Amino acid sequence: QETAALTSRKDEHQSINLSPEPGEASGPNPDCTVAKRQKQDKRTPMEKFGLTYLSVTHLSRQVWCEQQVVYGMEMPQIEKLRAELPIVKAGSSLHLARELEVHDIVAVNVTSREDSWAIKLLNLLSAIQVLQTGGIVREMPVFGELDGLFLVGIIDELRYNSKGELELCEFKTRSQRSFPGAAQRKSHHLQVRVYKCLFEAMIRGEVDKGILLRHLRLRTEQPFGSEVSEHAEKMGFTVHKFGDLLDLVLLNLTYSEIPQIDTLMIEYCYQADRSAIGAEAVCFQEEWLRRELANCFSFWKGQREAEGVDIEEAWKCCSCDFVDICDWRQRKAEELTQKYKAIQSRG
């Protein structure tokens, strides 16, 4: 089995447009606080950051600290530096090693946004075939609209357990040989629960072609570049333009006989020696997910300003790249000082 990787466009996590809008400064104006900038800018964060969709990774990071996500988008150069950290690189290479255990990766040169999405769709077609025959798939693309926003993600692994039930497994690497704390686990739980929602809507045939095209601004008549056409043909699909491939995928999803996901698992692995730390089974909890997503989405829809961490979780700031410039943290510290002074003056 083969899966394709893009060679000239960026992947899921990077495909969000982080470039500043025309006429906008490339970084934040140091004379203007984040709170002031947010109030002055009437665009929703989706519009401001030029996003056509959100990645599931961004949602799980948002649950950790929303303000950190905003800073990351305003200062993409810092995010890029983060990707170069040894701990991040080690995590990526372990993921790649796992992916290579179940399929080969071939590089395909793409020439348009439709080509990039065609690669995702071809990988999805391949995953559908494998799942229908009881096999294991890794790095499976999922997408769909939830509450008016389009989400895109990649499931680490789908497999059948000994009872023949479908199991989703998210693979996390750790620099310490221990399970993460509750805050980190909360963001992991959100991630796997969103994946289950997206995946099941897809196999129920609920992905609407018009909605997908509108959100992603893709052209059905766009012909594929030569390498994408060749790759599709090698896989046994004769498709020449994006709309044909999309129809084929939606049809395959609707009429596939893939079951719903029964179990959500998160497997933790120790980076240093690649040994397993352990696995956690996560229950679905639809109500919890609905609440968390409503809160996340209200920010992206521009219904409220970005929030940083609560005082009780200020420990997160110690490992944050933006700790020295964070307005939220500064405001919280001032509020706390005021409260302390008020208590002292009363006493």
CB of 153 to ligand SF4, least distance (A): 23
CB of 307 to ligand SF4, least distance (A): 8
Residues in contact with ligand SF4 by CB under 6 A are 65, 67-68, 71, 308-309, 316-317, 320, 322-323, 326, 328-329
For 122, the token pair is 């071809």
User: Nearer Cβ to ligand SF4, position 27 or 259?
Assistant: 27
Residue with the closest Cβ to ligand SF4? 308
Rounded-to-5 percentages of helix, strand, coil across the chain: 50, 20, 35
User: Nearer Cβ to ligand SF4, position 113 or 316?
Assistant: 316
For the stretch 284-288, contacts whose Cβ atoms lie closer than 8 Å and that sit 24 or more positions apart, written own/partner, are 284/193, 284/196, 285/193, 288/193
CB of 30 to ligand SF4, least distance (A): 16
User: Nearer Cβ to ligand SF4, position 12 or 66?
Assistant: 66
User: Nearer Cβ to ligand SF4, position 182 or 343?
Assistant: 182
Q: Residue 4 and residue 245: Cα distance in Å, rounded?
A: 15
User: Nearer Cβ to ligand SF4, position 187 or 229?
Assistant: 187
CB of 326 to ligand SF4, least distance (A): 3
User: Nearer Cβ to ligand SF4, position 249 or 317?
Assistant: 317
Beta partners for residue 347, in sequence order: none
For 136, the token pair is 């294991």
DSSP of 21-37: PTTS-SS--TTS-HHHH
CB of 114 to ligand SF4, least distance (A): 36
CA nearest 91: which of 264, 266, 269, 319?
269
CB of 177 to ligand SF4, least distance (A): 25
User: Which residue, chain included where needed, has tokens 């994006």?
Assistant: 242
User: Nearer Cβ to ligand SF4, position 71 or 195?
Assistant: 71
Distance from CA of residue 178 to its chain's centroid? 24
CB of 291 to ligand SF4, least distance (A): 21
Phi-psi domain of 325 (left: phi exceeds 0; alpha: psi -120 through 50; beta: other): alpha
DSSP of 133-155: TT--EEEEEEEEEETTEEEEEEE
